[in-house]
Amino acid sequence: MSEPSRFDRGHTDDLMSFLAAGPTPYHAVANAGARLEKAGFRQIAETDAWDGTSGGRYVLRGGAIIAWYVPEGAAPHTPFRIVGAHTDSPNLRVKPRPDTGAHGFRQVAVEIYGGPLMNSWLDRDLGLAGRLSLRDGSTRLVDVDRPLLRVPQLAIHLDRSVSGEGLKLDKQRHLQPIWGLGDDVRDGDLIAFLEQESGLPAGSVTGWDLMTYAVEPPAYLGRDQELMAGPRLDNLLSVHAGTAALAAVAAGGAELPYIPVLAAFDHEETGSQSDTGADGPLLGSVLERSVLTRGGSHEDRARALAGTVCLSSDMGHAVHPNYAERHDPTHHPRANGGPILKVNVNNRYATDGSGRAVFAAACEKAGVPFQTFVSNNSMPCGTTIGPITAARHGIRTVDIGAAILSMHSARELCGADDPFLLANALVAFLEG
């Protein structure tokens, strides 16, 4: 029998609750905000005047959250320590005219968001969640957390080639989910159904941002439950760890040399170019206003950013036992081996030697082991919000994360101890 976990699984239990409560970026940031409220933070609106008093605050914009804690006596030029992450995951999203169907089946028209492993969405029971925009200008979150839709795979009897040539999916024709029977497809049926589910008056919804998700809950996996399977690990695992770390640091009462920040953005999977993405103005605006409301000048802002460090926390690839040749032969991150430092000399990741030293010091302080990931030279390397953050704001940025399998699947897999190890490393980093 393998060695049992050395760690209390309370953190991972809590992560599973966080994943289940965050089927969309909008739900994830609302959940993170509620957790920070319990830790003494308060939400402030971007349209309000801000003050420079100490304490914890956060801003919500769509599927993004920026939260920070100002210690007592923080100078205007005090640098920031930022944990960066993203809230979105690849999935199937509802089109502007969602009602469709054929041959007696009622279907929902969807568009592919990001780069999902499309086969992982077949034959799964799917819920539907997102944000409804109402006629009066307000918004309402909706979550139909039950089997509502399904993308049925073609039976092997009708496609014998699939076992030899592999599955080939047409993104337009083959991924439209079924949600009922009938030939009387009418425009407005889906939205009318969601209005009824949400207790809203008929005709009150004038806009929507809706997406499907697998309703199977997160679960421990394996003989000794060393693994955890769940949806949206990429990258709600990091959002959860960053939220927990920021709350812990704020509650610690220590005299912090930095202002700790959580910056969780939307739209990373599609390039980050939006008003809630890492390539947008949100983080820069929050940091600048934090400096100015504490009596600082633009010179103080420049000094603060010059001393700032960001850990861009995103998922990385654990070595795959069936495809080890796809990995660099000397860099094989393992599940439950601790967080990973992600390196790419072509700046797909922002890590350099000085950034490695910052992360190594945090892990040493926390008593957490860490691993290093480098792509196989023959394989293209993904990227993160790290290089975007470094280039847009001119701050030193380090790419890190947790090692997982099945990245971009509807259901991913990680070591059950790694979320706890990552969170502890983030605490040590934010404390400085």
* pLDDT, tens digit (0-9, with 9 covering 90-100), for 39-62: 999 999 999 999 999 999 999 999
Q: Is 367 left (phi over 0), alpha (psi -120 to 50) or beta?
A: left
What strands lie across the sheet with 105-113, from one edge to the other? 139-149, 126-134, 205-214, 91-102, 105-113, 178-181
Structure confidence at residue 5 (pLDDT)? 53
- Distance, in Å, from the CA atom of 133 to the CA atom of 426, rounded to the nearest integer, reads 35
What pLDDT, on the 0 to 100 scale, is given for residue 6?
A: 56
Report pLDDT for 9.
87
Higher model confidence: residue 4 or residue 155? 155
Alpha carbon distance, N-terminus to C-terminus of the chain: 39
Q: Looking at the predicted structure, is the pLDDT value of residue 248 above 70?
A: yes
Q: Is the pLDDT of residue 4 over 90?
A: no
pLDDT tens, position by position, 158-188: 888 887 778 889 999 999 999 999 988 899 9
Share of the chain above pLDDT 90, in %: 91
Tell how strand 340-342 and strand 396-401 pair up.
antiparallel
What is the predicted pLDDT for the residue at 270?
Answer: 96
pLDDT beyond 70 at 361: yes
Per-residue pLDDT tens digits for 137-154:
999 999 999 999 999 999
pLDDT at 7 over 80: no
Give the pLDDT score at 163: 75
Q: State mean pLDDT over 194-220.
A: 97
- 426-430 average pLDDT score: 97
